[in-house]
Structure 1
Amino acid sequence: MRMKFPANVLKAFVFAGGVAATALVPVTAAADNLSDAMIGAYKTSGLLDQNRALLRAADEDVAIAVSRLRPVIDWTITASHTYSRSINQLGTFNEFTNNDLGTQIQLTQLLYDGGETRLRKLAAQELVLAARQQLLSVEQTVLLNAVQAYVGVLQGQENVALRRNNLSLLQEELKAAQDRFEVGEVTRTDVALAQSQVAAARANLTDAEGALLTARATYLQIVGHAPGRIAGQPRLPSRAVSIDRAQSIAARNQPDLLAQQHSVKSADILVQAATKALGPNVRFRASAGLSEDVNGSTGTDSDASASVTLSQQLYAGGLNAATRRRAIASADSERGALINTQRAVRQNVSSAFFNVETARATLVSSNERVRASKVAFDGIREEATLGARTTLDVLQAEQQYLDAQTGEVNARANQAIAAYQLLQAQGLLTAEHLGLAVEIYDPALYYNLVKDAPAQYSKRGKDLDRVLKALGRN
């Protein structure tokens, strides 16, 4: 559940500092279930940190747009020295020296621009909403990577256990074949076959152990710490009862789709802004100044002025019209991208939904195959002790049993990954939806601090400096 924070800036600062501190403290506790793996990935992901910073940059674009609606005050101090020397027709030298010190303050305020600046602020706000959805998309990727890393370690451990058990059984078969050879029940060929299978089993065990080491390294890279004792198969999330229901959920929640919708809105607003930019604008200017002759010859002068100026570009070489046409083309491009995104989301949901169905059916078949091959292996092995089966029959049955068990392990792994891929396709693979025990990053927190464009030395500006310092970004 998303944690709610009051608007108090101090608490916002404490929260931001807590997030930064959590990301910096190394996690040493062993992850023993899938939730722990996803929590570790959520807390330590550099990709999430990167995209949270990009979101804060988008927040600042709103503040920049707001600032353009406010007055601009400039203060200048000027110190000047003037020296001139001339010679008239009579050969007389004239020298003039003057030292002035002056100061001026000037205020400029936009009064009217047809709404262009206000529209650009609205466009920036839409891009903020798009960036929030893009952050959720990255969060889904990070959590799915954690699922795949966890399942990869579990799959590797189970494969190693199977290979070890297989090697143990084959060593027993080799010993049995050697004993039967000594009493003349089998030939040396049977012994050689058993020895070959034992050697192959050792090599396969080595490969499985190498794959497990790779899976553990991947887990460390994604989750932020090495896996400890893995608890077992993850609990599968509930899924939509039908593909139509899954598509409906994705249409409301899929972050890539929602982000593109906001991008289209922003592009359409920028077209309106570019159109308004073709019209006139009105600005108010006021200034006051003071200057003093340092030499003391002319004393102190002061001046003040105020004016309202209407300006209209009559010709700019086609720049403004081209800018508007470019905005229209960009909006058309964003709408085209939206169509592609809509189709991709529908296709991804359909594929993920049917992959879950296929994985479930495959696991059922794999379980039946394991059961049948186990019965066959036990029977053939028993028949071999009575002389009704050869060593080759036993080895083949053992290989079929191993293949069935390996297929079952892979089918379970595929089912778990497919279930979480369906969540991602619907936009539900988030820390908040899964109820992970983490402090959910609140994207509105920073936005609420900067949306009114606080000045650097104001109270809120100083609070923002402390937040940035806590995040290690000042």
Structure 2
Amino acid sequence: MRRLPLFLLLAAVAVAAPARAETLDGALLRAYNNSPVINSSRAGVRALDEKVPQALSSMRPRASANAFLGVQENRMVTKQQDIPLTDSTLQGPVKSVQSGGSVPRSAALSIEQPVFDGFKGMNATRMAETGVFAGRERLRLTEQRVLFGAASAYMNVLRDTAALRLQESNVSVLAEQLRQTRERYVAGQITLTDIAQAEARLAAGQSLASQARAALEASIGAYRQSIGVEPKKLAPGAPVDRLIPKSREEAERIALAEHPVILAALHDADAADIDIKVIQADFMPKLSIVGNVFTQTDVAGIYNRNVGGYVGGRLNVPIYEGGLTSSQVREAKEVAGQRRLDVDVARADVLALVRANWGALQAAKTQISAAQTQIAAAERALYGVREEAKAGQRTTLDILNAQQELLNARIGLIIAQRERVVASYAVLAAMGRLTTEILALEATGYDPAIHFEQVRGLWGGMDTPDGAR
């Protein structure tokens, strides 16, 4: 098996390659701009934005109108004993009947303006804003996961395509080896055992090639899912070492300060603390100004009309609510304690992730160097075994084993090169810096603050703002 140049091990062509190859940066950009996962997360953040005007609405005026319209029929019968003044012996009942119909109707307009609610609305607004900030960090985490998934899918296609080429090349070499073995058998140099060994190794090589083809198809499917298009011609991928600090300690420091998992956990802890104050406001009195104007016609009776209005203050002083609010405060305090512990958990998880990915990156660098040395040694060994076999000092099985060792070494290099690139992106993601800005990708700009500012001060309207997607 002749030696392949190193660049061929990571150069991949999947079907009908166009003139211009797809780059890893281009694939990441395509995945970022077209990812339904990112678009879904953005919609979720926009939904969180609406929690802020909802909280602000608690201190805004409320107005309501109601009206009543009906039909009524009245018949009133009265009886009385009437005694004539001229003759007291004559007396008899007098019956009076009154009847009529009317259309009772009424209308009223009520307005209430909260004045004091125990600071519940203010704290609810702060909690909603904190929830929005946490949502933005989770959106950033989603974007990083999409970018890392795209980088992994890209490198998997390169790896599996190169591995398939090596397996197919190995099948060709084994087929040629079998042909030469049969010629040597005809010449009386070897036995049928050598032919059987070559045939067995060829069948095994064909099986491995079939497995490599299936693995490539699976990687192409994952590529299509992550990036949105079929892979055509892919340029070799490169690690992002320029964006990674020189020491693991520096990477850990950056991760603790910038990773979205930690920042989201901190915002969640702040929101939980504020929620305690929101619930405690239910112990405090509430004051509002209430105004009402109304008109009533034929409601209290036929031919009766009442028009009026009033303005007053409404004071509500809670005294005892059965222990409900007290239980809610205790619950909120426990949740706040849990959220603070979640911050510690998030920090520990991120530090472990940085360390694991940093170790994987260093191991991949060592594996590449070792695999290159192994390939060079395996090539020399294969050449020597073939020469010794010509002198009758080696068997066919020795040649087949040497060929297999060389194939394994080359596949090991392909895997190490893939791990080298992916591990560098994994370290960048563990630091919280796998973003389009850090990677210098010309991505379609999206600023979640735009939609937030558009809806924060809205007092009404059911149409979603434009320009925030």
Partner residue of 1:5?
Answer: none
Over residues 137-175 of structure 1, what are the superposed CA-to-partner deviations in whole Å (9 max), with x where a residue is unaligned?
111111111111111111110100110111111122112
**Structure-2 separation of matches of 1:135 and 1:31:** 31
**Structure-2 separation of matches of 1:88 and 1:320:** 57
Partner residue of 1:184?
Answer: 188
Structure 2: gaps (5+ residues): 1-17, 80-92
| Secondary structure of residue in 2 paired with 1:290 | strand
| Secondary structure of residue in 1 paired with 2:107 | strand
Over residues 380-434 of structure 1, what are the superposed CA-to-partner deviations in whole Å (9 max), with x where a residue is unaligned?
1232233332211111100110111111111111122211111111111122221
Partner residue of 1:390?
Answer: 395
| 2:432 maps to amino acid | G
Q: Does 1:125 align with 2:129?
A: yes
The offset of 1:352, in angstroms, is: 1.3
Q: Does 1:274 align with 2:279?
A: yes
Q: Does 1:438 align with 2:443?
A: yes
| Secondary structure of residue in 2 paired with 1:77 | strand
User: Which moved further from structure 2: 58-67 or 75-84?
Assistant: 75-84
Say if 1:98 and 1:293, in contact at 8 Å, map to a contact too: yes
Q: Does 1:80 align with 2:70?
A: yes
| Secondary structure of residue in 1 paired with 2:59 | coil
User: Which moved further from structure 2: 376-385 or 252-261?
Assistant: 376-385
Q: Does 1:284 align with 2:289?
A: yes
**Structure-1 separation of matches of 2:213 and 2:36:** 29
**Structure-1 separation of matches of 2:378 and 2:189:** 26
User: Which moved further from structure 2: 244-253 or 377-386?
Assistant: 377-386
**Structure-2 separation of matches of 1:283 and 1:97:** 41
| 1:410 maps to amino acid | I
| Secondary structure of residue in 1 paired with 2:283 | coil
Match for residue 454 of structure 2 among 420, 436, 449 = 449
**Structure-2 separation of matches of 1:467 and 1:95:** 66
User: Which moved further from structure 2: 111-120 or 89-98?
Assistant: 89-98
**Structure-1 separation of matches of 2:309 and 2:443:** 59
**Structure-2 separation of matches of 1:30 and 1:133:** 36
**Structure-2 separation of matches of 1:432 and 1:83:** 77
TM norm structure 1: 0.87
- Aligned residue runs from structure 1 range 348-363, under 5 A: 348-363=353-368
Kindly name which structure, 1 or 2, has the bigger radius of gyration based on alpha carbons.
2
Partner residue of 1:310?
Answer: 315
Say if 2:49 and 2:452, in contact at 8 Å, map to a contact too: yes
The offset of 1:93, in angstroms, is: 4.8
| 2:30 maps to amino acid | G
Partner residue of 1:203?
Answer: 207
User: Which moved further from structure 2: 83-92 or 120-129?
Assistant: 83-92
Match for residue 63 of structure 1 among 48, 53, 57 = 53
Say if 1:33 and 1:234, in contact at 8 Å, map to a contact too: no
| Secondary structure of residue in 2 paired with 1:315 | coil
Say if 2:455 and 2:465, in contact at 8 Å, map to a contact too: no
The offset of 1:83, in angstroms, is: 3.6
**Structure-1 separation of matches of 2:155 and 2:378:** 25
Over residues 17-41 of structure 1, what are the superposed CA-to-partner deviations in whole Å (9 max), with x where a residue is unaligned?
xxxxxxxxxxx99971212222222
* CA gap 1:213/1:114 in 2 versus in 1, 3 angstroms: same
Say if 1:431 and 1:440, in contact at 8 Å, map to a contact too: no
Partner residue of 1:102?
Answer: 106
Partner residue of 1:41?
Answer: 31
Say if 1:287 and 1:306, in contact at 8 Å, map to a contact too: yes
| 1:227 maps to amino acid | P
* CA gap 1:208/1:278 in 2 versus in 1, 3 angstroms: same
The offset of 1:446, in angstroms, is: 0.8
The offset of 1:96, in angstroms, is: 5.2
Over residues 283-340 of structure 1, what are the superposed CA-to-partner deviations in whole Å (9 max), with x where a residue is unaligned?
111122234459x974764312101121111111111111211211211121121121
**Structure-2 separation of matches of 1:211 and 1:86:** 94
Partner residue of 2:259?
Answer: 254
**Structure-2 separation of matches of 1:250 and 1:400:** 41
| Secondary structure of residue in 2 paired with 1:186 | coil
The offset of 1:87, in angstroms, is: 4.5
**Structure-2 separation of matches of 1:87 and 1:372:** 122
**Structure-1 separation of matches of 2:42 and 2:383:** 58
**Structure-1 separation of matches of 2:50 and 2:235:** 44
Say if 1:64 and 1:453, in contact at 8 Å, map to a contact too: no
* CA gap 1:153/1:30 in 2 versus in 1, 3 angstroms: farther
Say if 2:239 and 2:424, in contact at 8 Å, map to a contact too: no
Match for residue 349 of structure 2 among 340, 344, 348 = 344
**Structure-2 separation of matches of 1:466 and 1:29:** 39
Structure 1: gaps (5+ residues): 1-27
The offset of 1:179, in angstroms, is: 1.6
Partner residue of 1:228?
Answer: 232
Partner residue of 1:18?
Answer: none
Over residues 107-148 of structure 1, what are the superposed CA-to-partner deviations in whole Å (9 max), with x where a residue is unaligned?
111101221110010000000000000111111111111111
Say if 2:451 and 2:465, in contact at 8 Å, map to a contact too: no
**Structure-2 separation of matches of 1:465 and 1:58:** 14
| Secondary structure of residue in 1 paired with 2:103 | strand
| 1:35 maps to amino acid | D
Partner residue of 2:82?
Answer: none
| 1:417 maps to amino acid | V
| 1:195 maps to amino acid | E
* CA gap 1:466/1:94 in 2 versus in 1, 3 angstroms: farther
Over residues 5-62 of structure 1, what are the superposed CA-to-partner deviations in whole Å (9 max), with x where a residue is unaligned?
xxxxxxxxxxxxxxxxxxxxxxx99971212222222122222122111111110000
| 2:245 maps to amino acid | A
Name the Cα RMSD after superposition.
2.4
**Structure-2 separation of matches of 1:85 and 1:38:** 84
**Structure-2 separation of matches of 1:412 and 1:360:** 8
Q: Does 1:135 align with 2:139?
A: yes
Find runs of 4+ consecutive structure 1 residues off by over 6 angstroms.
Answer: 28-31
**Structure-2 separation of matches of 1:314 and 1:77:** 35
**Structure-2 separation of matches of 1:113 and 1:297:** 43
What percentage of aligned pairs have identical amino acids?
A: 28
